[in-house]
Structure 1
Amino acid sequence: MTSEPHRLQYLEAMGLTAWVARYRLPNARPSEACEWDLPAEADTRSRAPGERLHALLEDAAEASPAEPPARESTARPPAGPGKARALLGGLVPEENAAPAEPAPAPSVTAKAEQPVAEALRFTWQVTCLDGRWLLVLPRDAGPSDVEYRLLGNMLRAAGVVPVRAPSFETFRWPQLEGLSVEAPLEEAREGLRAFLTGRRQRGWVPERLLVFGDDAVLSDLLELDEGYSGLLAMPVWQGPELKDLADGAEAKRALWPRLQGWQRDWRVGDEETRRDV
């Protein structure tokens, strides 16, 4: 079951704001739930067990005589609070009985042996070309002006011409700090799914993933295997960072053969989208 802090974290990843009322609005009518009066004679069965127990002991004390009789059968249970205890089958401890020994507190060593999981930490720059091709830069900041122009030229040269220019936004994990973590990898995957689900309202329905660069968690997080993401269930193309491409002509020439086929994939996907519409 997802806890409230984790639920707020996933909503934050989806781009949804959670509103929580902290104060009563001015001139608002007070909640009637806070003004309910208990009935004068409530049914004893509706009372809490502790209240019923004290009531039983008090009734037994009031009903007991001031002086016990001279002779009383040993088979008869004693009067007073002891009678109530006897009727309860020894569930209530005697007044002079020694208190039960508290359970030993867990040792400091036992607490220290429990592993403490840490959340995965990463920052990506993400955009989606015409809502079809997901483009990820595993880095803290978006592309510079030079890198942005280089990316546009590469896409046009490869025959990928989106209707709208790509606009990157930051996806950072974790969204909220200080939360307990039980399964770091799975929780990060759920956060990424929530992020993409929230972007569906903007028309994001990615069918292919392009990655420029790499980081410590990308391969495990996306479940990459031979050019395919098991997490996102789509083909993946991964190339060098835009900074490396912008700094050297040799890197651009080495990349060019790898861009072959983009135009075909873009047109095929475009035709399939039109048929679906």
Structure 2
Amino acid sequence: MTPDPQRLQYLEAMGITAWTSRYRFVNARESERSEWQLPEAPKKAAPGERLHALLETPADAAGRSAGHAAGEAPTPDASPSEAPASSRARALLGEPPATAKAPPSALENAEAETGENDVFAPALERRDPLRFRLSLAILAERWWLILPGERPLSSAGEALLNQQLAAAGLPVEWRILSTFSWPLMDVPTTDPEAEAREGIEVFCAGQAQRNALQVDGAIVVGADGAWAGLLPEAPADGESMSWQHWPHPDDLLGSADAKRDCWPLLRRAGDHWRLAGDGAETAPR
């Protein structure tokens, strides 16, 4: 059974300073009464002594080294938060600040062993992000119609785009869902093209989920834009989505030859539209 003095010390350590027995077991012997002395409170050091205690003397360092050599447990080094306190203490005592030497890195240790110091890892170059805007429209609830945001369609260009859709056998039913501006955060990056491509993909996937769309194709209008090269020219491996790239309709208004050169693009888009539609109709539900 734990003696009362030790029990009281446990309770005091737990923050319970006032304790008195309230119950006594039947036929139990009364606890012996004894007196003990409480430990004296540590004497508070003078301000000057506390400042000097923050400073490490060479003798202290030598003592720790001797302890390590004797096999004693190493004393943990001072935490980084103690370094400013030591500097402030030296300033208050009028002593010059100590120059701390950083511990050698793994690369420096390797160089010291091999004698080589001319091998360095190349730093990745950071570049400004790409800057563009685009408008995302949906064509007959099946295909994306990606329009350039920096160069919106004129009235005549929009009319020509509708004529191209009709000539390709596609329905002239499209509506703009949202616009997208890049970059979201104007910070340098090591791979501007990859981050912009991922941003477009996430934006399109979010719009498809928000509007409950099953998109299996896309027509990129204005394929000469800075962002058009980020989109795939053909379906990726295992992907059934069709990507079609058309020139900006405003560039075709004054040239009959340019309109004629677009006919293979329109025919290919119509073939992919019908092929994807037949697959959707025959696919098991």
The gaps in structure 1 that reach 5 residues or longer are 1-39, 44-58, 65-85, 105-112
User: Of the candidates 148, 155, 160, which is equivalent to residue 138 of structure 1?
Assistant: 148
> By how many angstroms is 1:232 displaced?
11
C-alpha distance in 2 between matches for 1:238 and 1:269: 17
Alpha-carbon spacing, 1:269–1:150, altered in 2? closer, same or farther (3 Å):
same
Matching residue of 1:157: 167
Mapped partners of 1:41, 1:180: distance in 2:
55
**Partner residue of 2:195?**
187
Alpha-carbon separation, structure 2, partners of 1:169 and 1:270: 25
Relative to 1, partners in 2 of residues 1:123 and 1:63: Cα closer, same or farther, differing over 3 Å?
A: closer
Does the Cα contact within 8 Å between 1:142 and 1:168 map onto a contact in 2? no
Which deviations, in whole Å up to 9, do the C-alpha atoms of 1:19-65 show, x marking residues without a partner?
A: xxxxxxxxxxxxxxxxxxxxx9778xxxxxxxxxxxxxxx895299x
SS at match of 1:153: helix
* Displacement after TM superposition at 1:155 (Å): 0.8
1:205 paired residue number: 214
8 Å Cα contact 2:127/2:190 also seen in 1? yes
Quote the Cα distance in structure 1 between the aligned partners of 2:73 and 2:44. Answer: 17
The code of the aligned residue for 1:228 comes to A
Aligned to 2:128: 118
Larger radius of gyration: 2
Q: Which amino acid aligns with 1:167?
A: I
The CA RMSD over aligned residues, in Å, is 4.2
TM-score by length of 2: 0.52
Mapped to 2, the partners of 1:231 and 1:128 lie a distance apart of 24
Q: 1:250 to 1:195 in 2, by over 3 A?
A: same
2:170–2:273 contact (8 Å) kept in structure 1: yes
- SS of the residue corresponding to residue 225 of structure 2 reads coil
Query: Aligned match of 2:175 in 148, 166, 182?
Result: 166
Please list the CA deviations of residues 213-266 of structure 1 after superposition, one character each: whole Å capped at 9, or x if unmatched.
2123432x22x4xx4154994433223211111222221122224322443332
Aligned residues: 189
Q: Distance in 1 between the 2:138 and 2:260 partners? A: 25
**SS of aligned partner of 1:118:** coil
Contact 2:125 2:190 in 1 (8 A): no
Same amino acid, percent of matched pairs? 27
2:252 counterpart of 1:245? yes
Contact 1:124–1:137 at 8 Å: present in 2 too? yes
1:158, CA displacement in angstroms?
A: 1.4
1:165–1:137 CA distance, 2 compared to 1 (3 A): closer
SS in 1 for 2:130: coil
Question: Which amino acid in 1 is paired with 2:43?
Answer: E
